[in-house]
Structure 1
Amino acid sequence: MKILLLDGSPKAQHSASAHYLRAMEAFLGGQQTLLWRDARSFDGAAVARDLLDQDALVIAFPLYVDGIPSHLLVFLEAMEKSLKEHQAAARVYVLCNAGFFEARQTRLALEMMKIWCEKSGLAWGKAIGIGAGGMALAAPIGSGPFAKLGKELQTLAGLVLAGQSDHDCFVEPDFPRFLYKTIAHFSWRSQARKNGLSGKALHRRHSYVPPARHAPAQAPSNP
């Protein structure tokens, strides 16, 4: 079976998206032909041509402002244009991780991906919305707080290999929400101090002054 793994993260290293795809690679087993691509350095139209020879597409990306990251959106638009000319038979599976603890925050981005699949003529397989992406690298997938996520990814790998579809699901780590927020706030304040900002500066309200509007130039009157 031929499977294309697409990393939609803007990060070149240490991204949660790549971390989840590596876990999928392990669950898919070593007898599959896996083709790795990323939306940072590859052209969308070229990857669409790669997809013509694949049985499945697994996309992983982070949630940006309740939606798809802009660079990935441009990439997908290029893929869509190419796929409308050359139809692919691959089934699409999506992993979207949010920095929010609540996994359901990804639901709008997953709906966007479904619309993209429909417009591109691709079959929808399944999506997993993943919460607390900020702690993705804190423990191995399949153990500790990520035991549930490991089971869901293993189930997803089975669907990919069988070429089947299923209902989307949302997964959060077995970890206290309040503690996740506490650690996140500590990390943000630490980064702020390293960049010369105080704790008070983070909460300071800044007034917005709109740019001045210039009056339109008057046409010269006839002499």
Structure 2
Amino acid sequence: MKIAVINGSPKIKNGTSSFLLQKIESMISSENEIFHYNINKNPLTAQQYRELCSMDTLLFAFPLYIDAIPSHLFRMLAALEDYMKTERQNPIYVYAIINNGFYEGRQNHIAISILQNWCLRTGLQFGRGIGLGAGEMMNFIEKVPLGHGPQKNLGNALRQLADSINSRSTGEVMYISPNFPRFAWKFNGTHFFWNATAKTNGLKKKDILKRL
């Protein structure tokens, strides 16, 4: 089976989407061929769009942007739709991993619906997806083994998604939050992410709270 892994994050490196793709790729059967596409650098070429039309499976990973799909990925999907309607010969299954900065994974449901509707318009089969909350935590807990501690839910969800990909089957969308108390997530995010980022950019805590 030919699997296209499409990183839809605007980050060139160290993004949550890259982290999640690395984890799930290790769970995909070695009998499959994996092809990588990063759309954060340059637009895809006509040849690359045709390559995607010859795949058996498309696996997207991207962050949530204003409850929807990042604009550069949306443009890519719109262009790919036209190619799929003329170039595709065989059924293609679509899977997705979407992460957001909110605690609740359910916040990704609109982006999942957009991708499902795109599949309907394009004639592809939506297989399954993961909506992950607290995506920014991944850089801080990446050394925690999947399936353990705060990554327990994520590890289980990635395993189920990998099983669906390996068998080209469908399943329910999984909305998950980290195995980490919400109040602790909020405290750490405020003090060790937002305030730290502000300081790096020459701002103080009071600057964040200013009203324009």
TM-score if structure 2 supplies the norm length? 0.91
**One-letter amino acid matched to 2:115:** M
Is it true that 1:196 corresponds to 2:198 in the alignment? no
Counterpart in the other structure of 2:14 = 14
Please give the alpha-carbon distance, in whole angstroms, between the structure 2 residues aligned to 1:149 and 1:196: 35
Counterpart in the other structure of 1:116 = 118
**One-letter amino acid matched to 2:38:** D
Structure 2 gap segments, 5+ residues each: none
**One-letter amino acid matched to 1:70:** S
Other structure's SS at 2:175 match:
strand
Please give the alpha-carbon distance, in whole angstroms, between the structure 1 residues aligned to 2:103 and 2:115: 21
Q: How far did 1:45 drift?
A: 4.6
Other structure's SS at 2:129 match:
strand
**One-letter amino acid matched to 2:100:** A
Cα distance per residue 1:53-89 (max 9 Å; x no partner): 2211110000011110111111111111211222252
What is the CA RMSD across the aligned residues, in angstroms? 1.5
Is it true that 1:141 corresponds to 2:146 in the alignment? yes
Number of residue pairs matched? 206
Is it true that 1:67 corresponds to 2:87 in the alignment? no
Identical pairs, percent: 35
Q: Point out 4+ residue stretches in structure 1 off by more than 4 angstroms.
A: none
**One-letter amino acid matched to 1:71:** H
Aligned residue runs from structure 1 range 75-154, under 5 A: 75-87=76-88, 88-137=90-139, 138=141, 139-154=144-159
Please give the alpha-carbon distance, in whole angstroms, between the structure 1 residues aligned to 2:17 and 2:175: 16
Structure-2 change in CA distance of 1:46 and 1:184 (3 Å): farther
Other structure's SS at 2:23 match:
helix
**One-letter amino acid matched to 2:202:** G
Structure 1 gap segments, 5+ residues each: 207-223
Q: How far did 1:42 drift?
A: 4.4
